[in-house]
Every structure is written in C-alpha cells, then in structure tokens.
Amino acid sequence: MKYRALITGATGFVGGYAAECLHAAGWHVSAIVRSTSRCDLLPPTVQDNVQFYDADEMPLSEIVDTAAPDVVFHLATYYTTVHSPEEIDALIAANITFGTKLLDGMAQHGVQNFVYARSSWQHYHGDVYEPVNLYAASKEAFDAMVRFYESAYDLHTIRLTLFDTYGENDRRNKLLAVLPKLAAQGKRLALSKGEQHVDFVHVKDAARAFLLAGQYLAEGHIEQCGNYVVSSGHAITLKELVHRYENLLGVKFPVDWGEKTYRTREVMMPWRGGRILPGWERMYKELM
C-alpha cells in the first residue's frame, strides 16, 4: 500500500530531507508551503515528486481534505535564539497558530495520525519543562494544543524531540555549515570557550526517524504513540566537536576560542531525558 503524507516545513533543512526520505520509501508526498517558500532550492527529487499546496492561497482545512493524508508530518517552525519584540507575532503565528489550524483541519476531516518536531531547548537544565528562550516556550505552548486534540478528537501522535542536526546542503546559519565557508574565504570566527556540551545527529538519520514514526501510525501501531528523542545518546563539548569536524574534512577552521562570552541561558549540557523511537538507529556516527 502506498501511504499518503502531508508535510509542513519541506523547504527547511530537516523537512526537506524528511520529504525526500518519505518519497524514497514509496510514500505519496504533499507539502504545505507559503508563497514566499523557496521550493526551487529543493533537490529535483523533491521538486518533481511532491505535490505543493500554498497555504497563502488555500485554507489549511481544504488542503488537508484535498491531500487526504494517512499521516501529517509537522516540521515547519520559526526559529530564533534571542527574539526581538518585532518577532513575537511571527513566532506565535508560525509555532502556535499555524499548527493549531492544521490540527483543526485534521479534526474536521477525520485525519488522526500526527508526527511533529519538538525542541530539546524546552528542557533547560534538564527539567521536564523549562524553556531556554521564547522559541522553546512557543513549542511548549503547541504541545498543549496537541494534547487538547488528542483528548477531544482521538489524535494519534508521535512527538520527536530534536537536538542539533548537520549534513549536506545546510543553508541555515549554523556553525557546522558556516565553518567550511569561512575557511574557504580565509575569515576568522570568534566563539566562546567551547565548553558547552552538544548532541548532533545527521539530518538523514533525523529524517529516517520521521519516516519510521509515520510508518508506525500509518500501519495502525498506535501503541507507539508518545514522546521520543532524536539523539546521538552522547554529549561532547563544542570545542571537541569542531576538532572532530576538522579531522573529518581535513581542514583547520579559523576559530578564535574564548573571544565571545556565553549567551544568556546558554545550554551547557543538553537534556538527557527521553527515549529513542523503537527500531531507529543512527547510520552516521562520524562526529558523535
């Protein structure tokens, strides 16, 4: 049977790989995008094989009805480390309002299977809930919305908590994506002492976690519903990670350690709670 997926965030880093992974596994994939989304930057395998629906032109409920998904995958997000007052509306609209309207569209049309991305930053100091920043607080607020739809509309949900991800074609302003570019340009980068511990998972492994979660729900294994982490299971210092990345690529990165202070509410040790989705294993272990 060819399952049908409806995915948000397909033009993002993890979402794009998840869409590609679903297609490669034989799923029929539809994606919700915006009129400003850069679909042209996606790999040809995604551009040519995914049905795109513009949420600026079509109500979410109508998209859900037309796409008729077996599983909805929600990876769209508005990310910011330290928010500005001008970002608050966009943060709430993307991380709470959009997802809630999507859930309501699912409820209206009897779509019960939902897989979505959480953030490890919802667990500052390893607490069950303590947001590192407003972004993490908005993700927690969306968790509350999901719980309502689970209770009121029998929504079947698998939550995947993401840590850091890395991999090819990363357009984000993330450290492992920026360092090779700076090295090629001969520019230096000021960083903190690098004592904070990090947990990185390759984006292709993260994408396979979403695929596996979707397969469980599509096949009716609702006993697998719950919270899981997409984690290497390890934590190393940022400085050690960069050294390993240098050895992997055979490049010396132009980093000035200790030239910056740690951010307010810097995460010095990633959350170590949570459990791994049954059946999921990492294939890429070169850094962690």
Q: Are strands 197-198 and 236-237 parallel, antiparallel or unpaired?
A: antiparallel
The predicted structure's pLDDT at residue 127: 76
The predicted structure's pLDDT at residue 129: 81
pLDDT beyond 90 at 266 = yes
| Average pLDDT of the residues in 230-234 | 96
The predicted structure's pLDDT at residue 250: 92
Indicate the helix (H) or strand (E) that contains 13: helix 13-24
pLDDT beyond 90 at 229 = yes
| Average pLDDT of the residues in 189-212 | 97
Selection from 64, 272, 254, 273 nearest residue 149 by Cα = 64
| pTM as predicted | 0.96
Q: Give the count of beta carbons closer than 10 Å to the beta carbon of residue 48.
A: 9
**pLDDT, tens digit, 9 for 90 and up, residues 120-135:** 999 998 877 899 999 9
The predicted structure's pLDDT at residue 128: 79
**pLDDT, tens digit, 9 for 90 and up, residues 140-196:** 999 999 999 999 999 999 999 999 999 999 999 999 999 999 989 989 999 999 999
The predicted structure's pLDDT at residue 202: 98
Q: What class does CATH assign to 4-163+200-230?
A: alpha beta
The predicted structure's pLDDT at residue 251: 92
Domain ranges of the chain: 4-163+200-230, 173-198+236-269
Kindly report the average pLDDT of the chain as a whole number: 95
Cβ-in-10-Å burial (0-12, 13-18, 19+) of 6 comes to buried
| Average pLDDT of the residues in 74-92 | 95
The predicted structure's pLDDT at residue 231: 97
Distances (CA, A) of 201 to 14, 112, 198, 284: 11, 29, 10, 8
Confidence of residue 45 (pLDDT cuts 50, 70, 90): confident
